[in-house]
Chain A
């Protein structure tokens, strides 16, 4: 398995290096949306005398910088790619090999993120300076941010694959994926920090997996959680990871029975 991963990483880096324009555009758009939301919240805060709830301008800056990093490293787009694989018949050659197709996606995700993260750093540094971003974490926040980010990325990745397996039944899965992306947009802390959601929405957010994908690692990174809260949130992430893992096992094995090898 290690050898397969090493070879896939080499091939993945070779492949990614072919598309520099796509790479630039990806980085540009991944930064653009959080920065727009940051600008909007800063405007709201300034109109309200400098803060919204417990968030001042510097807190919003820290939040959206952290969110950009987390989104960049934890977001996955597999459902869209999987639909393409199924519709074009490209899944079949992968299914014929003694390596689960999910491993190719793991490598592609990691390669793409490593390839683009360097371009993100100067933009985020400039944003941090411009808005005076305030990170108030203790060293343990940064230490626990790492497993939280990995867990968030894993939940998002597996969730994407569960949605993707719908392609075995309905072939066109992008509409289902877009539906979940919209829910995720509200309940994962992208449109607003989870702490600013109205009470009922906040409860719903923490009862669904989306907050544990992005919002939780962001709050840990910017130092907005106590130690006890952090452990509780990490446990929540562990729970959702287990749920997603089991759900994917069931969806995958049932999906394969349904697979009709369209176009292949």
Chain B
């Protein structure tokens, strides 16, 4: 690993928003006297990302994910704090910086609606000053990875949503950025297109070594692509570490799955832990982490030969994330 390509320290963004109560009277009053409220979208976060990493950025709506990506790509000025991306301060918006990064937002287009994507790519070639050889190589690679061949010569307005997203990816990455910020890249796509985009991001990262910071509401995206995740909630970073460790860190229990020979799923195993699932011969128990060893030993001892199999698992990652998003977990620094 080299120097971090993304370094963030105490980054904070506060928006000032106007607010008023409902009703005509409040509306009239607001014309003459407007009330404002400060909303802290990002509340002082710090992290670093190494070259070539694919990092998932998780958090519920309004957690501060997109605001952070916008600051790191130079779209927004922070209220305070520091950040560098590829050695540049993003919000200075130097051409050299903008030429080396990309921010792809799943619901935003950068293509000209009425002309074929191939022509939009040519425009981008000139804007990013990409030499003809590099342009052809990058375009051919994207055409190959995204299977774009037949789509490039159709006007963008005639493409389906999935087709357009693929072309958007090509437009967003034609300049071979070293850092790509992907904000909900699979939003609105069907399952097969989501899987395709996931494969593309993984392969793109493998081929080019680009660093990727990805937000998504779909855990499948994160599980498929990211070994490391950042979890943000109410603008604060709750977790920064391995995806595999997220459940361990964020859920105070494990699951013991006991399979019984005699199909004794009807037997009451509630004494060993909270029963969360029960199907033929198989019972899943939720047990506090500190009690797992003791409960496992008791189960083995009490059930003896009737036990066909016993496994201890972390809860599904979705469950951990759901607990965080629903506010069940207290804020804990990673």
Contacts and interface: CB of A to CB of B under 8 A. Distances in A.
Interface of A: 3-4, 6-8, 10-11, 14-15, 18, 89-90, 92-93, 95-99, 256-257, 259-261, 264
A97 B128 contact: yes
The range of chain B's interface size is 20 to 34
B120 interface: yes
Contacts of B331: none
Give chain A's interface secondary structure class. Answer: helix
A7 B126 contact: yes
Given A7-B122, A18-B114, A97-B98, A92 B127 contact: no
B247 interface: no
Contacts of A96: 73-75, 98, 101-103
Contacts of A15: 112, 114-115
Contacts, number: 79
B102 to A, nearest CB: 7
5 contacts: A3-B126, A7-B127, A11-B112, A259-B77, A260-B15
Contacts of A90: 108-109
Contacts of A92: 70, 75, 103, 105, 108
Contacts of A18: 114
A152 B29 CA distance: 43
A29 to B, nearest CB: 22
Given A8-B123, A256-B93, 17 more contacts: A4-B129, A7-B122, A7-B123, A7-B125, A7-B127, A10-B122, A14-B115, A15-B115, A18-B114, A90-B109, A96-B73, A96-B74, A96-B75, A96-B102, A98-B128, A259-B75, A261-B76
A97 B98 CA distance: 6
A89 B105 CA distance: 11
A256 B105 contact: no
Interface centre among B15, B75, B95, B99 (most CB of A within 10 A): B75
A4 B108 contact: no
Contacts of B115: 11, 14-15
B153 interface: no
B126 A4 contact: yes
B144 interface: no
B119 interface: yes
Contact of B99 (A93, A98, A257): A98
B110 interface: yes
A52 B123 CA distance: 53
B77 A257 contact: yes
Contacts of B95: 98
Interface string B118-142: 0110111111110000000000000
Given A93-B108, A96-B102, A257-B77, A11 B120 contact: yes
Contacts of A256: 77, 93
A8 to B, nearest CB: 6
Interface string B63-98: 000000010011111000000000000000101101
A259 to B, nearest CB: 7
A252 to B, nearest CB: 11
Interface in B41-74: 70, 73-74
A15 B122 CA distance: 14
Contacts of B112: 11, 15
B108 A264 contact: yes
A259 B108 contact: no
Nearest to B119: A11
Nearest to A97: B127
Contacts of B120: 11
A157 B96 CA distance: 28
Nearest to A260: B15
Nearest to B113: A15
B187 to A, nearest CB: 14
Contacts of B105: 92-93, 264
A234 B109 CA distance: 42
A99 B103 CA distance: 15
B95 to A, nearest CB: 4
B93 A93 contact: no
B137 to A, nearest CB: 18
B261 to A, nearest CB: 59
A20 to B, nearest CB: 12
A6 B114 contact: no
Nearest to B124: A97
Contacts of B127: 4, 7, 97-99
